[in-house]
Structures are given as structure tokens and as C-alpha cells.
Amino acid sequence: MKTESADILIIGAGPAGSVAAGLLRKQGRDVLVLEREQFPRFSIGESLLPQSMEYIEAAGMLQDVVEAGFQYKNGAAFVRGDKYTDFDFRDKFSPGWGTTFQVQRAHFDHVLAKGAERQGAIVRYRHEVLSVDTSGEQPEVTARGPDGETYRVRARFLLDASGFGRVLPRLLNLETPSNFPKRGAIFTHVQDRTPPGSFDRNKIRVTVHPEHVHVWYWTIPFSDGRCSLGVVAKMEYLEQYQGTDTERLQAIVKETPSLSDLLKDAVWDTPARKLTGYAANVKSLWGPGFALLGNAGEFLDPVFSSGVTIAFKSASLAADCIRRAYAGETVDWEKDYAKPLKAGVDTFRTFVESWYEGGFQQVIFHPNPSPDVRRMISAILAGYAWDTNNPYVAESKRRLTVLEAVCA
């Protein structure tokens, strides 16, 4: 069997893998990316957070993304019954980007992958990782190409950016149950045909079910008059509906008049899909010669669109650890990678848990919010969950608990 070598081997050419490849190429590293699918390919998770732009820029892909024609995004809107509120991410506590894009992921992911290739990374599509050996001095991967031939790759560092494929967690027995309740999502893309002025297309719209606090919908507009539409709920709630996934989603949308009215002229031209039990966790985010990026490590929930931002943050932290290792420094991957990454993830976790319990929803829809507190919350919703100058990051649980009591 043929054996190749590379400085860095990345599994997966999605956002985490491509941005990591771009950052590592800027260091002069030899980067090989193995991607199981052929791009472009469908993926869910279309609403970016402004914090993401920092990493796209650092990876040398900002021009690629800006020129791709995606829908401009400056905030998030929340609807529950007759209540409406929105956050403008340009008015936030943390410095940095306040705008971003809402993207069709098939196109967006391909733009990033091509950006990585433009910078010299080798991206192989339809190459599947079959096994991994981390017992030697360097990790070694066995892969199979589209022609059926198998080969080995030996690399100094291995980064798993395989997303929900979770290649290394599966192959190395790293998976562990998430402590989140089992939820599911049903989603599609529709031609929305919303009346002019009825819908701020510069913001993701999050709609809460009028009766069930744990049921919410996303509506993410694109630049071409289409939008991503989905519902998230506990599994027992979704399973009470019969028919195809499209019919189930249509029935659930009808239960919420504000959303049903908004989409009354929509053309449902794409079969809906479902994702169940998506929350995931692992025993460790790193091991001998490898690290897990983005969803390959942990995925919380889609409610605040944090997935791509966490993926980019993990790519940035891992690339910096690798830079230091090549410079001869001693790298403590737990201290320098896992703990910093988890700090922001735990901030998001606090707000996600409070959302489903209803407390954070009371905060969001409070009729007389403090402007300063809104700016702090706006920063977290914009992705700045690692800015410890923000009291709602530094002491997220305590601060949010007090705020919930005030807003109750």
C-alpha cells in the first residue's frame, strides 16, 4: 500500500477544515485535506455570526466570501406571538465585526475550500478515511479514493474537521453522550415570496411556538429570494406528526400564525430533511498528534447559530498550537486548545440551556431592557463568547440567573 507524508492532514473540507488549511498555509505548512463528499454539497447551518469574519479574514478568504454574493446580515430578530424584538450586531459590547452573511452552505463551503486550494492546500474530494493509528510517533491514516484504491498518509499533525461525520470520535472510541435532551430538526429551503417590508432580510428570524417554549423555528433569508426554514423541538413533539418530512414541517409551521402568515405564498419546492439527536460530545478534544475541530468535537444546538463560529475558533486555536510546536515550543493541548475553546462553548451552553427553560426568552422579550445589558447580550449573539471583558461571558451563569429573576 502506498504511503504518503504531509505536515498536516485535515479530515473534512467544511468551514473548520478549510479555514484551518488557510491558516496553516500562511505558516508555510504542507497541508493535505481529505473530503469524503464531492463539493458543492448540501449542508445545514446557513446563518453566520460576525465573529466568524475575523477568522475568514485571518485565513486569507475574506475577498472570496465578500465577492460570492451572499445575503448581508446585521442582526437577529425574535418573535413570540405578538411580541417582536431584534438585535443589531453593530450595536454590541465587544469590538470587532458587527456584520456578516447568510449563506447557502453548499456554495459557501465550496468558496472556502477553493480559497484553501488557492493558497496551496491540496484538497482531495471523494476520499474517505477508513482507519486511524495514533500509536506511533506520528498519526497515520488509511484512506480510500474514488477509484477504490487504498493508501496511507503519515502526518505530523492530524485535524479532524469532519463535522457530523465525526470520523476520529468514531474510530478512536472518543464519543460520549451529550447532556442535552434529545432534540431534532426538520428543515428545507423554500422560495419565500414574503411581501415587501414584512421581513427584515438582513436578520435571521427566530420564532417561538405560541404554546410550547421548547419549539422554535428559524427563517434565514438568502440573496436570491429563497430562505432556509426549519423547526427544532424535542423528539416526542416532532414524532406526533405524520407524513413526509415536508408535510410534517408544513403542519408545524401552521401552528404558529405569525410565521404561517409570513410564508403564506411560499413555494415549497425542495423536499425537507431531518436531523435527530444532533447534540454530541467527546471524552477529549485532542490526543497524541491529533485534535478535533468544530462539530467533530462537540455540537450544542442551532438556536444561536454558533456552530460555524465555534468551528472557526477551534481552527484558529489549533493552528496557533501547531505554529508554536513547529517553533520548538512545548504545547499543552489541554491548556492551550481544549480549555480556551470550551470556555466560549460553555458561554453559549449557558444561554442555550436558559433559552429552552424559558428564562432567556423572558430576557429577550422584556419590554424595558437595559441598553447596556442588551449590548452585552448582542455581543454574545454576534459570536463574541470568548470576550471575558463582557460580564455575561466572564460570569455567564451568575449574571444570567440574576437577569432572569429581574425579567421574570
**Same domain membership, residue 335 and residue 190:** no
In this structure, is residue 86 part of a structural domain?
Answer: no
* Residue 82 maps to a domain: no
103 and 140 within one domain: yes
The closest alpha carbon to 248, from 276, 279, 210, 282, belongs to 276
The set of cell numbers assigned to 142 is: 488509511
Is the pLDDT reported for residue 17 higher than 90? yes
pLDDT at 278 exceeding the cut of 90:
no
Give the model's pLDDT for residue 180: 80
Q: Residue 241: give its domain's CATH number.
A: 3.30.9.100
Domain end point (choices 276, 296, 326) = 276
140 CB-near residues (< 8 Å, 6+ apart): 132, 133, 134, 152, 153, 154, 155
Shared domain check, 143 and 62: yes
Q: Of all residues in the chain, what percent carry a pLDDT higher than 90?
A: 93
350 and 340 in a common domain: no
Does any domain span residue 304? Answer: yes
Quote the cell numbers at residue 9: 492532514
| 3-state secondary structure at position 291 | strand
pLDDT of residue 94: 98
How many CB atoms within 10 Å of residue 279? 16
Whether residue 161 sits in one domain with residue 46: yes
pLDDT over 90 (residue 32): yes
Radius of gyration of the chain (CA): 21
Domain that holds residue 236: 183-276
Query: 3-class SS at 331?
Result: coil
73 touches 87 (CB < 8 A): no
- Whether residues 198 and 304 fall in one domain: no
C-alpha cell of residue 263: 410564508
**Which band of pLDDT confidence, cut at 50, 70 and 90, is reported for residue 279?**
confident
CB atoms within 10 A of CB 365: 17
Residues 382 and 242 in one domain: no
For residue 78, tell me if it sits in a domain. Answer: no
Average pLDDT, the chain: 96
pLDDT at 182: 85
State the pLDDT at residue 382: 98
Q: From 218, 248, 276, give the residue that closes a domain.
A: 276
pLDDT tens-digit readout, 93-107: 999 999 999 999 999
Answer whether residue 227 is part of any domain.
yes
Q: 134 and 15 in one domain?
A: yes
Q: Which of 289, 323, 344 is the last residue of a domain?
A: 344
Q: Are residues 224 and 289 in the same domain?
A: no
284 and 392 belong to one structural domain? no
Q: How many domains does the chain have?
A: 3
Could you tell me if 112 and 245 lie in one domain?
no
* pLDDT of res. 181: 81
Number of DSSP helices (H) and strands (E) in the chain, helices first? 15, 19
Whether 19 and 68 share a structural domain = yes
User: Cell 449563506 identifies what position?
Assistant: 103
